[in-house]
Amino acid sequence: MAKSYMHALARRPITVYGPDWDLRCLICTKLPTLENGLAEREPLPDGGTGIAVTYTLKEGLTWADGEPLTSADVRFSWQVGKHPKSGTVSQQIYERIRDVEIVDARTFIVHVDRVTYDYNAMAMPILPEHLERPIFERSPADYRNHTAFDADPTNPGLYFGPYRMTSMQRGARVVYERNPHWRGKAPEFDRIVVRTIENTAAMEANLLSGNIDMIAGETGLSIDQALALETRHPERFRYLYEPGLVYEHIEFNLDNPIVSDRTVRRALAYGANRTAISEQLFGGKQPVAEHNVNPRDRVYTDDVKHYPHDPETARQLLQQAGWTPGPKGIRTNADGEPLRLTIMTTAGNRTRELVQQVLQSDWAQIGVDLRIVNEPPRVFFGQTVRNREWDHMAMFAWLSSPETVPRSTLHSEMIPDGEGGGGQNYTGYSNKRMDELIDSMERELDPQRRAELWHELLQIYARDLPALPLYWRAQPYVLPLWLQGVEPTGHQYPTTLWVEDWRRVPAGEG
Amino acid sequence: MFAYICQRLAQTLIVLFVMSFVIYALIGLMPGDPIDLMIQADPNLTGQDQQRLRELYGLDQPITTRYWNWLTAALQGDFGYSRLFAQPVLDVLWPRLGNTVLLLGCAFVLSLAIALPAGIAAATRPGSGFDGAINLFAFAGISIPPFWLAILLIILFAVTLGWFPASGMGDGFWDRAHHLLLPTVALTLARVGGILRYVRASMMEALRQDYVRTARAKGLSRRRVLVGHALRNAMIPVVTILALDMGMLVSGALITETVFGWLGMGKTIYDAVLGNDYNLALMGLLFATALTLLANLLADLAYAWLDPRISY
């Protein structure tokens, strides 16, 4: 996220989701759609159907060394991205593209091998062909070790945004200055320095001492630190809290006989006072999640089963599931075994540890003995979660994009097989109708029909509860009073993509 | 003496070779690999992506094969690339080693400058109010958590008084010195207590010896007795402690480096281990090992200088 935040000052994707969560052109002239004719279905050699999407770059786009940014750069970027040895992390977007056809210096057609709902989203990073092609052609396998982005990061030819990187001290700070060749809206500030401060207490001290002007919500303080800072210095800064796409939740291991029972999962949902967690721990800034889609997402629906805090209903459900009141207030089953569950999360994450303690107290009232077992993040994610080695519950977060189809986390084909195959369906959830909905919605282009598919998916999700939704994590921004124009998005596209809208206002106006 | 030094250097190389394998194996035993960390950042990573990336970075090979590949390259001067910093490993480590030596060197000198005179003074006044005050100072330094102390210094001197920057390393000689002061003080206060206590105890033991009584009886000045006779003998155990401390400081300055944003070896090694950056973690730990061994060699040589009865 830190890299994306900084890169966005000096580089731009072709399309983005804006602060309003709608897809829009950033450096293209018009968003191509089937309706406006800039996207057209086309037959594929194998008899299938693909799509050809035409983009036109804005006039005047120039790399900061004066070279024009053209369609050839886009085509080259695709060639590098799809090469198996180039080191590209996720090659999905590149592999789906059959060709990037150059029409002229500013217009190109992307031929994709399938028609999916996100056919016109183009977030592929653009590489400067005039600098990178010689490096890539010398040795594609070594390209990732010799790319100018790492070997010569202050080369102006790498940047085409309102700023360019002029100095970098790795691990300490990066300096950006105005790009003299930027033809878009002129940014207000001559120079922006992004400092790396890895300790949040030191970050706060730097802010209070005036060493830094602001703390970005994308990568800065945790919610409780921001709330505490606001309590101590309410008038000194401007605080923005934007609930985003980081979905904090508890995944159940559906192979476990206790939590594989949906009645038990529902009881736990009713027994957890999630509203109190949001209000008491987060000052209401991190709203309760009802399922895995954010309320700002176009496909969100509230027409799902809700689980308000209702300990009496929770007790009845546990009774129904065969867990009757036992000694010391802990429920037992017919064999006398206590209802003892474990919850795991990342050790040292104060927020999560606080939430665990609240849940422990809530669930004790309905007769559940909750044991907290936490691990360092690299053990938790590297082994426990990946191999599905937790007993009952694992608490962590997923990050997604607007309208991201949850194939990896909910499709039955994505259950890890223990041999490196599968995806991130760590709960082991398997539902035929869910699979059908996921397969359909990837190909459904009609927005209304897509929304209907999503709504059904969310109703199943809320009914089956493969995971217990907790809350949407907020990004806390701490801004100086004289700075306006920073508009948090809440999704993965950072605020720096609109840095040219940031402006200084006179004292008293902030 | 020269032969002794050569022998010790040869032993150092053997130890480093053995440690390289041990460290590589230990890192390999840690759960997860860099690809697992990437998956957590991007749930849309497919199984194919994971397999491709593991092959690309050689993570599908057995650990013995990976170690052998690293060793054969290292013997030819290629210590590999840092995945986290996207640079050759030595390009990452050399500047950070310099930063660590600067910080540790200043803290070391300042610690000695405080501990030696204070320890000697306390040893010559056992049980006095001055001795009590010195002991209190020493225990405070030993007891205060370094993290808390660092934050306290920042709050007082950077936020409240505004005398020093809160973090960072600065540019240029004077700016860097300005940035260096607070982390040096934090590191010194955390270490000086232990050294002071050792100096005090060793001096008190030395001052009880017959040769000191003889020196006084001969009419030597107090200064000559303390420095020329007692201190020289008292320094032998202190030198041992200082040598061990040097090794711990390289990795133990992690907290100080993190809080003050000082780009040193401790933080780099920590990040490399957690980020599963094999090459960087391995070389960083070997650097720390080599520094410890070198410090111990210097300690052994110091023994010979302090005590003429010792020769190699």
3-state secondary structure A43-103: ECCCCCEEEEEEEEECCCCECCCCCECCHHHHHHHHHHHHCCCCCCCCCHHHHCEEEEEEC
Q: Do A150 and B50 touch (CB under 8 A)?
A: no
Give chain B's end-to-end CA distance (angstroms, integer): 5
Output the DSSP codes for A93-134.
Answer: HHHTEEEEEE-SSSEEEEEESS--TTTT---PPPP-HHHHHH
- Residues A499 and A163: beta-carbon distance below 8 Å: yes
Q: What residues of B are in contact with residue A405 (Cβ under 8 Å)?
A: none
Task: Please give the average per-residue pLDDT across A454-466, as a whole number.
Answer: 97
pLDDT at residue B231 tops 90: no
Q: Do A90 and B42 touch (CB under 8 A)?
A: yes
Cβ of B147: how many Cβ atoms within 10 Å? 16
pLDDT at residue A437 tops 90: yes
* A381 vs B40, B49, B159: nearest CB: B40
Q: Rounded distance, CA B58 to CA B73, Å?
A: 14
Buried-exposed string A430-455: b where 16+ CB fall within 10 A, e elsewhere: ebeebbebbeebbebbeeeebbbbbb
Q: Do B259 and A199 touch (CB under 8 A)?
A: yes
Q: Do A209 and B162 touch (CB under 8 A)?
A: yes
Chain A / chain B CB contacts < 8 angstroms = 132
Q: Cα dihedral sign for B31, B35, B40, B41?
A: positive
Query: What is the chain A residue with the closest CA to B81?
Result: A145
Structure pTM? 0.86
pLDDT in tens, B139-186: 998 898 888 899 899 999 999 999 999 888 888 899 999 999 999 999
pLDDT in tens, A223-265: 888 999 999 999 999 999 988 888 999 999 999 999 999 999 9
* A202 and chain B in contact, CB less than 8 A: yes
| Distances B128 to A175, A348, B123 between C-alpha atoms, Å | 56, 45, 10
What pLDDT, on the 0 to 100 scale, is given for residue A239? Answer: 95
Q: What residues of A are in contact with residue B56 (Cβ under 8 Å)?
A: 84-85, 87
Helix, strand or coil, per DSSP, at residue A142: helix
* A91 and chain B in contact, CB less than 8 A: yes
Between positions 1 and 30 of B, the ones with CB within 8 A of A are: 30
pLDDT at residue A6 tops 90: yes
* B131 and chain A in contact, CB less than 8 A: no
Q: Rounded distance, CA A32 to CA A56, Å?
A: 9
* A150 vs B37, B86, B274: nearest CB: B86
pLDDT-based confidence at A142, cuts 50/70/90?
confident
Q: Do A423 and B47 touch (CB under 8 A)?
A: yes
Task: Please give the average per-residue pLDDT across B35-49, as a whole number.
Answer: 71
Q: Do B151 and A202 touch (CB under 8 A)?
A: yes
Residue A466: both structure tokens together: 């493969």
Q: Rounded distance, CA A142 to CA B121, Å?
A: 62
pLDDT in tens, A124-137: 999 999 999 999 99
Q: Do B44 and A90 touch (CB under 8 A)?
A: yes
Q: Do B43 and A423 touch (CB under 8 A)?
A: yes
ipTM of the modeled complex: 0.80
pLDDT at residue A426 tops 70: yes
* B166 vs A89, A205, A398: nearest CB: A205
Residue B202: both structure tokens together: 């060793």
CA distance B43 to chain A (A): 6
Q: Cα dihedral sign for A108, A100, A119, A489?
A: negative
Task: Please give the average per-residue pLDDT across B65-93, as a whole number.
Answer: 89
* B56 vs A85, A408, A421: nearest CB: A85
pLDDT at residue A32 tops 80: yes
The mean pLDDT value of chain A amounts to 93
pLDDT at residue B269 tops 80: yes
What pLDDT, on the 0 to 100 scale, is given for residue B43? Answer: 62
